[in-house]
Structure 1
Amino acid sequence: MTGFDTRAIHAGQDPDPATGAVIPPLHLTTTYKQDGVGGLRGGYEYSRSGNPTRDTLQTALASLEQGTRAMTFASGLAAEDVLLRTVCRPGDRIVLGGDAYGGTYRLISKVQEPWGVGHLPVDLNDLDAVREAVAPETTRVLWCETPSNPLLNVSDIAVLAEIAHAAGTLLVVDNTFASPYLQQPLTLGADVVVHSTTKYLGGHSDVVGGALVVADAELGERLAYLQNAAGAVNGPFDAWLLLRSLKTLGVRMDRHSANAGRIAEWLLEHPAVGDVLYPGLPQHRNHEIAAKQMSGFGGMVSFRLRAGEEAALRVCERAQLFTLAESLGGVESLIEHPHRMTHASAAGSPLEVPADLVRLSVGIEDVDDLLADLDQALG
């Protein structure tokens, strides 16, 4: 198998046979001429069912995650919805990490649960608790984010896979924070990888999307059926933008990780900061697991303010180079208050995040400029 960066640039992206164009064409079409009734060219009939640009993206993502098949969607939550409706039935249960993304928790607790699918949050670092929670016959999915959003906990994917498979359960790993450049969960035993491609895969804050990548071809067929039947696919231009972005994923993640590591170390020494959450720090409780299963520690840093929630809000409001905004993974640095922004839907639940927490999506700017901005914001 060729290297990651080579596959990011070339997998599924041979030069166009008609023109020799080195960039895959953008197929902005809804339908395709048939050579007689049922005479499909390349299997294409309607762009919800299949589009060459989207297929190229799916081939590339399957290669990067070392899976058998990838499916892309209009958003990360659309991907999650198709996955859960494919594998879960009334009476089933989902076990998920106790600090999962608020949108995932909302989908499970407010959309899936009224249809009879239960859920149980658990600390994925407490392996005995995970074993107890993953009940054979009823637990259909063990849902893991690693690193998690926004507390940056890291779970041992290989061990969770053993626990899940012993109970006949699927292990689903949200790999959004790491990206396939830093971590490939399918090679560690996971069954499904989930991405919000809006984030690091897109990388430029200009496209919304989601993806599923699977190890098992039969499961891929089932997911692809609902991808078409429910229709929440990404458009061809969105797919083309993502293909463009994949080509620089490796070099971007190197800079994101380097900048985040510098900032995390700087925050450790700041008197206003009580705790720094970054898996690259030796003090992080999951540092050894992260070092074992990741090739770098990513661009996300969270920290807690000693003076509490109001101090956290002031830091978010005072930051200038760090833009106050939701989302993450773009080339520009962002700052947010998860308790009131991205994770507001988890307020009052077992997944509620601390009110004194600030989350940084560290971009690829000059790190000294980022440090100067944090210094004045914390001052």
Structure 2
Amino acid sequence: MKTETIAIHSQNIVKSATGDVTMPISLSTTFLRDETGGYPGGHMYSRVSNPNREALEEVISKLEFGEATCAFSSGNTAGMTVFQALKAGSHIIAPDDMYWGLKKQLLTIFNDVLTFDFVDLTELDKVAAFINPNTAMIWAETPSNPLLKITDIEALGKIAKSNNLIFVVDSTFASPILQNPILLGADIVMHSTTKYIGGHSDVLGGSLTTAKKDEFWERILNVQQTGGAVPSPFDCFLLLRSIKTLAYRIKGHCENAMKLAEYLDNHPKVEAVYYPGLTSHKQHEIAKKQMKDFGGMMSILVKGDGDNARKVVNSVKIFAQATSLGGVESLIEHRASVEGPDTKTPQNLVRISVGLEHIDDLIADLEQALG
């Protein structure tokens, strides 16, 4: 089946006594045992598994061409689970432009357990210099947040494989529709399902999908089931509902973002536009090679300082000034003020999540805000 069909039909239509076309929500926290003590329905306790979560994990696995998926209560929890599954003393090579929430985990939660280096993964010749005897993992994020750097997944995967390292890709900005890291050599792909997979700014979640069920995946599965930071049945229901329209929403996000990027790229009050669809983007050719389209996320540098950038985000009327991304509504924010005083994000950077409103209205809104 093609992606659009998988999203609608894979584990979403189930046979039931009442003939539901949409999978019903199973709220039970515990499930009946039979005379032998077994579980004829396939589920024992909802922390371990649940029909709705099982369906969600199955759909994401198929969309990402993986063997298995673990769903979590947030994207940060998904990332944290990977770090928890590593052995104490392990070393991670992570991107210099890493989502601040996961970077903060490494710096403030795992700083006494793991070691790490933040490296520009777009410069592949420099990666090998950071590999040491304790290196266990390369963590990539492409496109990156908020500078929209593009990492060559296939090339980095070869480096990881030749050094026997676990290779994880945070593919949140791309979604399973635009990019499939497992097909390019990744061992695990992560998503904040809050973003494009959810797509409506109304459900929190995260996922990890593995290329194969190996020993490290069993460690991840143990953290998920024993730790219990899992999405509720209703959260899974909402995500399954949203996945049905994911492919078509992504097409709209990409179309709007390309037009908006071209407009902003020629605006006299914009210093730079970070969008991989522009030929001026440093990794445009890599993006063309590994992505089906260029996504709905971009960042711009407003000419001037942080005050100029904040003036823009305070002047919009259609864009919502809010954190997060991937929803049907367009969002905008001054990113450095979210990340705090230690951020390396430029003070004049504005991050934009391009939604599904009419592009003429979005351009007009930014025109008046910049003007």
Same fold by TM-score greater than 0.5: yes
- CA deviations on 1:182-229 (whole Å, 9 max, x unpaired) are 000000000000110000000000000000000011243332121011
**How far is the alpha carbon of 1:14 from its aligned partner?**
3.3
SS in 2 for 1:112: coil
User: Contact 2:80–2:102 at 8 Å: present in 1 too?
Assistant: no
Match of 1:321 in 2: 318
Q: Which residue of 149, 153, 169 corresponds with 2:145?
A: 149
The alpha carbon displacement at 1:32 in A equals 1.2
- Specify the SS of the correspondent of 1:33: coil
**Structure 1: 5+ residue stretches without partners:** none
2:353 to 350, 361, 370: 361
Q: CA deviation at 1:154?
A: 0.4
1:130 to 127, 132, 135: 127
1:368 is aligned with what amino acid? D
How far off is 1:108 after superposition?
Answer: 1.1
Contact 1:300 1:360 in 2 (8 A): yes
1:293 paired residue among 287, 290, 296: 290
Alignment check: 8 A CA contact 1:335 1:358 kept = yes
Question: What residue number does 2:49 align with?
Answer: 50
Offset of residue 134 of structure 1: 2.5
User: Which deviations, in whole Å up to 9, do the C-alpha atoms of 1:252-283 show, x marking residues without a partner?
Assistant: 00000000000000001111100000000000
List structure 1 runs of 4+ shifted beyond 4 angstroms. Answer: none
Contact preservation (8 Å) 1:16, 1:25: no
- Aligned partners of 1:288, 1:131: CA distance in 2, in Å? 23
CA drift of 1:34 comes to 1.6
SS in 2 for 1:275: strand
Q: CA deviation at 1:36?
A: 3.0
- Aligned mates of 1:24, 1:139 — CA distance in 2: 43
Q: Confirm or deny: 8 A CA contact 2:31 2:41 kept in the other structure.
A: no
3-state secondary structure, aligned to 1:264: helix
Candidates 111, 115, 118, aligned match of 1:118 = 115
8 Å Cα contact 1:16/1:23 also seen in 2: no
1:13 corresponds to which residue? Answer: 12
1:213 is the counterpart of 2:197: no
Please say if residues 70 and 220 of structure 1, whose CA atoms lie closer than 8 Å, have aligned partners that are also in contact: no
Instruction: Give the secondary-structure state (helix, strand or coil) at the position aligned to 1:114.
Output: coil
Matched with 1:68 is 67
- Match among 251, 265, 289 for residue 268 of structure 1: 265
Aligned counterparts of 2:46 and 2:170: Cα–Cα separation in 1 = 27
Q: Secondary structure of the equivalent of 1:339?
A: helix
Equivalents in 2 of 1:33, 1:141: separation in Å? 41
1:289-313 CA-partner distances (Å, limit 9, x unpaired): 0000000000001000111111001
- Which residue, out of 191, 198, 202, partners 1:202? 198
Specify the alignment match of 2:28 in structure 1: 29
Q: Which ranges in structure 2 are unaligned for 5 or more consecutive residues?
A: none
Q: Distance in 1 between matches of 2:62 and 2:355?
A: 26
TM-score (norm 1): 0.96
Structure 2 CA distance for aligned equivalents of residues 98 and 45 of structure 1: 42
Amino acid at match of 1:158: E
Maintained 8 Å contact 1:74/1:209: yes
Identity rate, percent: 45
Q: Hey, what's the Cα distance between the residues in 2 that align with 1:370 and 1:14?
A: 37
| Superimposed CA distance per residue, residues 342-364 of structure 1 (whole angstroms, 9 cap, x where no aligned partner) | x22xx436xx1111100000000
Tell me, in whole angstroms, the C-alpha distance in 2 between the residues paired with 1:46 and 1:181. Answer: 32
Between the two proteins, the alignment pairs up a number of residues equal to 370
CA contact (8 A) 1:176 1:200 kept: yes
SS in 2 for 1:377: helix
Whole-Å separation in 1 of the counterparts to 2:58 and 2:218: 15
1:51-84 alpha-carbon deviations (Å, 9 max, x no partner): 0000000000000000000010000011111111
- Paired with 1:355 and 1:272, the residues of 2 have a C-alpha distance of 15
2:91 corresponds to? 93
Per-residue deviation, 1:42 = 2.6
Compute the displacement of 1:37 (Å). 5.6
Distance of 2:150 and 2:7 partners within structure 1: 25
Distance of 2:137 and 2:111 partners within structure 1? 14
